[in-house]
C-alpha cells in the first residue's frame, strides 16, 4: 500500500509483495454493517479502575485499546514532533473519519486485532476515500488493483471497491491477518509488509539471520519508505493516545453507529436515491465513493451507505418506489452506422449495460430498431463526485501555462508524451487524475499544461494579448482563435463578469496554426 501524502521527507511505496498469497474469504460488507449496528462493550482493566468506564467517544475507545510499544527512536520522535506541530492536520482527519471510524473500530475489535490498525487510513490516505496515489493505489486503505482483486474487491467501469469503505475495510483487515500469519505473527513485520509486501520483509529477516545479527524490525534493511512507514504509525498512535499531554484536540466522534448499509436490491440512480433519502447527491456520494458514475453498478453491489438518521426514511420511500422509477430511460432508434460502443459512449454507459437491458447476445444491432438506454436523472455535470467530474476538475484546474488537449494514439506512453511536451511523467499523470502506472487506452483524452509544448507535431503555441473590439463577443473571439469560451473565461477570470467591453485586454493561449485568417 502507498500513502499519497508525504508528511516528512519521503513518500510511501506500493505493496509489491504478496506473490504467493493463500486463499482468503470474499469480502462481505453486509457483515460489517451488522457489526456496526451492535456496539461492542469496551472493558477497562479493573486493576486500574474500580468501576466500568462509559465510553462515549470513539477516539477514547481507541486510546484505551492501543498496546503496541512505542520505542524511543529517532524517526518515531521526528514524526511525533510533526503531528504535535501540525494539530490542524489531525483536526481535519477527525472530521473526515467521523462517518467511518466507529465501523472500522468495531471490525478491528471483532477480530481482536491491534487497535493501532484503525490509524492506518490516516497514514495511507489522510482518511480520504477518494485518495489516489502516484503508485496507482486507491481509497481509504490504498489498495492497488492486484491486491484489491485478490482480497475480493470488485472493480469495473461503474464501481471501484477500493473506495467502498465497508468493503475495503473488510479486505484490508483480511490482508492484515494474512500478513500477520505470514510474517511469524509479528505485528511490526505485518505492518511493514502492508506497505512493501511480505516478500521483502521475509527476505530482510533471512539476510539478518545469515549475518547473525538481530532480526527485530528496527534492525532490518528495508526500503526507505517502509523504514519510515512503521515509525510514522507508532508516532501517530502515541500522539492519539496522549493527545491531552501533547495539546492535541480531536473532534469527538460518538461511540455509536454513524452509518447503515442498506440493501437496495437493484441498480438505482444516485440522484433518485438521494431524493428518497432527503439528501443532496454529493452528500450521498461522499458516503458511497466506490461508485464511479451516476448510478450504482448494474450487477451490484446493490447496497448504499446512508447516515443512520436517514436510513429508516429511505427504506420506507424505496419500498414505495416502482422498479422502473429507479432509473430514467430513453428510447433510442438505431441509425445506420451505429454500434453498441458508439451509442454507449454517447450516453456515458457501457456496452455490457446496453446488452443486459436490451437482452442482446452478440454485438449486432439493426438500424430502425429501438434500444432502451438508462440515462442520468440529472445533467451528468450535477454528479460532482463521479469519476468523470473529478477527472474533469483536475484536468481543467487553472495553471499558469497553456493547456493542450491530446488524444492517445497507438504506441503512446506516458514517457513518450511527457518527453515530447517537455513535462514530467508524474505531472502528466497527475493532471489527468491518473498514476504513471495506469494503462493508456487509445482514444483517451489527456490534457497537458505546458509553456512551450506543442498542440500537435506542427503546432506553434503562443500567448496572445487581444484587445476587445466593438461588436466582439466571447463566442466570436473563441471562434477566431479556435479555442473555447470556457477557456477564455478561465484564462481571464471572467466568471463574475456578464459582458466584455471594447478596449478590454484578454489573454489567450493559442495554437497559431489553427487561428482563422
Residue with cell 466582439: 472
Q: Taking a C-beta distance cutoff of 8 angstroms, is the pair 202, 182 a contact?
A: yes
Residue with cell 441509425: 335
Residue 322 a catalytic site member: no
Question: DSSP letters along 424-460, please?
Answer: -HHHHHHHTT--TTSPPPTT-EEEEEESS--SSTT--
Query: Which helix (H) or strand (E) segment is 333 a member of?
Result: strand 328-333
Residue 373 has which C-alpha cell?
438506454
Q: Taking a C-beta distance cutoff of 8 angstroms, is the pair 91, 97 a contact?
A: no
Helices (H), 221-322: 224-241, 243-246, 270-276, 281-287, 308-319
Q: Taking a C-beta distance cutoff of 8 angstroms, is the pair 365, 357 a contact?
A: no
Angle at 513 between CA 510 and CA 517, to 5 degrees: 95
Q: Which of 116, 124, 225, 260 is catalytic?
A: 124
Q: Would you call 330 helix, strand, or coil by DSSP?
A: strand
Closest CA to 154 of 299, 295, 259: 299
Question: DSSP letters along 204-249, please?
Answer: HHHHHHHHT---SGGG----HHHHHHHHHHHHHHHHHHTHHHHT--
CA of residue 111 relative to chain centroid, distance = 26
Kindly report the three-state secondary structure assignment for every residue of 112-163. Answer: CCCHHHHHHHHHHHCCCCCCECCCCCECCCCECHHHHHHCCCCECCCEEHHH
**Pairing mode, strands 328-333 and 303-307:** unpaired
Query: Which helix (H) or strand (E) segment is 346 a member of?
Result: helix 340-346
Q: Would you call 193 helix, strand, or coil by DSSP?
A: helix
Q: Taking a C-beta distance cutoff of 8 angstroms, is the pair 265, 71 a contact?
A: no
Question: Residues near 72 by Cβ (< 8 Å), separated by ≥ 6?
Answer: none
DSSP 381: G
Q: Would you call 54 helix, strand, or coil by DSSP?
A: coil
Distance CA 228, CA 36 (A): 32
Q: Taking a C-beta distance cutoff of 8 angstroms, is the pair 464, 514 a contact?
A: no
Backbone angles phi, psi at 379, to 5 degrees: -55, 135
Instruction: Report the catalytic residues.
Output: 124
Amino acid at each position: 500500500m502507498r500513502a499519497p501524502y508525504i508528511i516528512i521527507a519521503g513518500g510511501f511505496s506500493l505493496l509489491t509483495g504478496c506473490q504467493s498469497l493463500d486463499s482468503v474469504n470474499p469480502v462481505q460488507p453486509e457483515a460489517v454493517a451488522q457489526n456496526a449496528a451492535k456496539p461492542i462493550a469496551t472493558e477497562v482493566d479493573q486493576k486500574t479502575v474500580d468501576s466500568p468506564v462509559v465510553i462515549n467517544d470513539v477516539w477514547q475507545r481507541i486510546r484505551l485499546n492501543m498496546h503496541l510499544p512505542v520505542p524511543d527512536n529517532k524517526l518515531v520522535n521526528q514524526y511525533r514532533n510533526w503531528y504535535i506541530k501540525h494539530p490542524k492536520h489531525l483536526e481535519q482527519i477527525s472530521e473526515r473519519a467521523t462517518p467511518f471510524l466507529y465501523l472500522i473500530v468495531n471490525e478491528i475489535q471483532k477480530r481482536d486485532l491491534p487497535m493501532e490498525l484503525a490509524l492506518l487510513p490516516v497514514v495511507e490516505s489522510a482518511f480520504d476515500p477518494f485518495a489516489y496515489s502516484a503508485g496507482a493505489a486507491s481509497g481509504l486503505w490504498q489498495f492497488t488493483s492486484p491486491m484489491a482483486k485478490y482480497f475480493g474487491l470488485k472493480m469495473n467501469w461503474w464501481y471501484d471497491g477500493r473506495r467502498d469503505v465497508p468493503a475495503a475495510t473488510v479486505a484490508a483487515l483480511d490482508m492484515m491477518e494474512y500478513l500477520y500469519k505470514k510474517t511469524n505473527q509479528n505485528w511490526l513485520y505485518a505492518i511493514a509488509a502492508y506497505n512493501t509486501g511480505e516478500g521483502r520483509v521475509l527476505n530482510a529477516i533471512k539476510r539478518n539471520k545469515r549475518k547473525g545479527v538481530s532480526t527485530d524490525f528496527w534492525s532490518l534493511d528495508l526500503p526507505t519508505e517502509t523504514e519510515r512507514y512503521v515509525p510514522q504509525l507508532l508516532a501517530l498512535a502515541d500522539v492519539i493516545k496522549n493527545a491531552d499531554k501533547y495539546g492535541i484536540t480531536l473532534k469527538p466522534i460518538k461511540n455509536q453507529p454513524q452509518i447503515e448499509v442498506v440493501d437496495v436490491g437493484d441498480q438505482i440512480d444516485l440522484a433518485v436515491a438521494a431524493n428518497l433519502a432527503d439528501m443532496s447527491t454529493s452528500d450521498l456520494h461522499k458516503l458511497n465513493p466506490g461508485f464511479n458514475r451516476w448510478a450504482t453498478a448494474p450487477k451490484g453491489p446493490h447496497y448504499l451507505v446512508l447516515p443512520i438518521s436517514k436510513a429508516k426514511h429511505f427504506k420506507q420511500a424505496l419500498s414505495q418506489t416502482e422498479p422502473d422509477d429507479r432509473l430514467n430511460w430513453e428510447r433510442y432508434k438505431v441509425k445506420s452506422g451505429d454500434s453498441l460502443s458508439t451509442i454507449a459512449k454517447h450516453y456515458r454507459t457501457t456496452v455490457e449495460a446496453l446488452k443486459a437491458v436490451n437482452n442482446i447476445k452478440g454485438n449486432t444491432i439493426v438500424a430502425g430498431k429501438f434500444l432502451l438506454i438508462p440515462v442520468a436523472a440529472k445533467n451528468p455535470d450535477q454528479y460532482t463526485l463521479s469519476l468523470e467530474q473529478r477527472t474533469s476538475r483536475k484536468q481543467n484546474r487553472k495553471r499558469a501555462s497553456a493547456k493542450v488537449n491530446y488524444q492517445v494514439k497507438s504506441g503512446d506512453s506516458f514517457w513518450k508524451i511527457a518527453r515530447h511536451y517537455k513535462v514530467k511523467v508524474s505531472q502528466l499523470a497527475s493532471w489527468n487524475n491518473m498514476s504513471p502506472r495506469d494503462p493508456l487506452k487509445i482514444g483517451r483524452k489527456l490534457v497537458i499544461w505546458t509553456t512551450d509544448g506543442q498542440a500537435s507535431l506542427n503546432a506553434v503555441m503562443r500567448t496572445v494579448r487581444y484587445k476587445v473590439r466593438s461588436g466582439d463577443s466571447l463566442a466570436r473571439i473563441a471562434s477566431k482563435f479556435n479555442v473555447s469560451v470556457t477557456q477564455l473565461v478561465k484564462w481571464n477570470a471572467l466568471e463574475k463578469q456578464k459582458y466584455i467591453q471594447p478596449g478590454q485586454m484578454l489573454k489567450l493561449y493559442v495554437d497559431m496554426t489553427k487561428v482563422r485568417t
